[in-house]
Structure 1
Amino acid sequence: MSATRPRETDLYPPVKALLESQGYEVKGEIGAADVVAVRDGGEPLVVELKTSFSLSLFHQAIERQAITDVVYIAVPRGSGRAALKSLKVNTSLCRRLGLGLMTVRLKDGLVEVHADPSPYKPRKSAVKKTRLLREFAKRTGDPNSGGATRQGLMTAYRQDALRCARVLLELGPTKAALVAKTSGVEKARALMADNHYGWFERVATGIYAVCPKGAQALEQHGDPDAGTPRTVPAED
């Protein structure tokens, strides 16, 4: 094994030993594959070796799926929080691609299998779907460009806050119930009390006013119900 930077060849002996312990005959560099293993004349097993996760590694592994459904990738096992996070993310990616994943602890040759090749069927989240459709239905118009940065996006919540701020700017300090009725924002009281954007202030029990920051937001964004173009995004 290399004393400094690991090499792909450092991964081969531990991977071969593991597969041989499972009854496979193993050979390296067969055709385009780094490792090929065959047991009892069955479906060949292919392993692609790399010193780290990379896009090219996944491309190569996907290409090997034209040969067999049993394709693994193998990389050195890292240490530390970043390595653990990378392993978790790439294990999930392997499952989505129908690939298996092995890691090799180079100091002692321990091979761990984190995922086996199998068809991937994503689990749907009814909660996330409902949340997505609710936001789609509540948002007025199409104020954001797809692919824009997440900070400062015009959400349905922000549009409701602008509606409340518009009422307060026009009427001055106003009871929350009247703000809700005039703006059409059913939860105006809770929205102004939470004051997520710092646009509102409570001047008396149940009575709210708009702050200078809220007036500035109205100037920047305009009235969501009037179709005023959005200009500079305010920071959340």
Structure 2
Amino acid sequence: MEIRKFSETDLWKPVRDFFVDKGYTVRSEVKDCDIVAIKDEELIIIELKKNLSVELLSQAVKRQKSADLVYIAVPKPKKLIGNSKWKDICHLIRRLELGLILVSFKGNNGIIEIPINPTPFDRWKSINMGKRKRENIIKEAKSRYEDFNVGGSKGKKLVTAYRENALFIACCLERFGELSPKKLRELGADERKTTSILRENHYEWFSNVKRGVYIISDKGREALKEYKELSDYYYQKIDDAFKGKVKQIEEK
């Protein structure tokens, strides 16, 4: 997070003055708490830090054992707000039921912004908001034939359901030569996606030799070598499960 060079003490006055203006009695450095604000029986604890960190979040969560509300106050970042990383951080803060105070300066005047208030987190609302993503995850997982990726790996091409389907088609074309989408489906290619995979030819693995008939391209053959484990699996699957259909297709 790229921010101006602040010390935690620079944040103290604007935050203190904000809560004083709201009618709270404010005291600083009370029992290891940076700032406490009290009004009637309500106790608020505010932790000041130069940047957001796991340590800060952990410290703030511990304060929830004693306080009614807990805020974390940090300098307002210049570039992070609005991007996906910032949204993820804000989601985590809401999930932990913490408040977020952003402090910036115009001259010597401190400016306080509170994008997140410490309110109870509605997990079911969050789940409903992510319903489409949940459905897509389940659909993708169920659409894959086997688990050919290594969890936690980076910088490698992932074997997605789409890539699996394309590789299966490539295996069929390499095994039997020219085939139509209909014949590929008879061999076990995806009922709904085969035609679009061939037509879009996203990986350039196929060549259209005549209307409605395809062969494997040189790039397709290279892909079969690159994904040898998966292509061998498909070859075996074709030979074992579709012997009768293979004979019929070869005779046509």
TM-score, normalisation: structure 1: 0.86
Which secondary structure state, in structure 1, belongs to the residue aligned with residue 67 of structure 2? Answer: coil
Displacement of 1:151 after TM fit?
4.1
In structure 1, give the amino acid aligned to 2:42. Answer: E
Q: Note the 1:122-137 alignment, pairs <5 A.
A: 122=123, 123-124=126-127, 125-137=130-142
In structure 1, give the amino acid aligned to 2:222. Answer: Q
Query: How many percent identity over aligned positions?
Result: 35
Displacement of 1:203 after TM fit?
1.8
Residues 58-91 of structure 1 deviation map (CA, whole Å, 9 limit, x = unaligned): 1211111121240000011232x33554654432
Question: What is aligned with 2:53?
Answer: 54
Q: How many residues align?
A: 222
Question: What is aligned with 1:106?
Answer: 105
**Contact 1:198/1:211, CA 8 A, preserved across alignment:** yes
Please tell me the root mean square deviation across aligned C-alpha atoms, in Å. Answer: 2.0
Question: What is aligned with 1:25?
Answer: 25
| Aligned with 1:185 (options 183, 190, 193) | 190
Change (3 A) 1:87 1:160: closer
Which secondary structure state, in structure 2, belongs to the residue aligned with residue 109 of structure 1? Answer: strand
Moved more, 96-105 or 198-207: 198-207
CA distance in structure 2 between the aligned counterparts of 1:82 and 1:190, rounded to whole angstroms: 39
Question: What is aligned with 1:16?
Answer: 16
Residues 13-63 of structure 1 deviation map (CA, whole Å, 9 limit, x = unaligned): 1111111111100000001110000001x1310000011222221121111
Which secondary structure state, in structure 2, belongs to the residue aligned with residue 106 of structure 1? Answer: strand
In structure 2, give the amino acid aligned to 1:44. Answer: L
**Contact 1:26/1:36, CA 8 A, preserved across alignment:** yes
What runs of 5+ residues in structure 2 fail to find an aligned partner? 238-252
Question: What is aligned with 2:160?
Answer: 155
Residues 76-120 of structure 1 deviation map (CA, whole Å, 9 limit, x = unaligned): 1232x3355465443222101110000111232110111111222
Change (3 A) 1:143 1:69: farther
Which secondary structure state, in structure 2, belongs to the residue aligned with residue 44 of structure 1? Answer: strand
CA distance in structure 1 between the aligned counterparts of 2:167 and 2:87, rounded to whole angstroms: 40
Matched, 1:141 2:139: no
CA distance in structure 1 between the aligned counterparts of 2:155 and 2:42, rounded to whole angstroms: 46
CA distance in structure 1 between the aligned counterparts of 2:161 and 2:99, rounded to whole angstroms: 42
CA distance in structure 2 between the aligned counterparts of 1:87 and 1:143, rounded to whole angstroms: 32
Residues 173-219 of structure 1 deviation map (CA, whole Å, 9 limit, x = unaligned): 22222122223321211111111222112122211111112112222
Question: What is aligned with 1:73?
Answer: 72
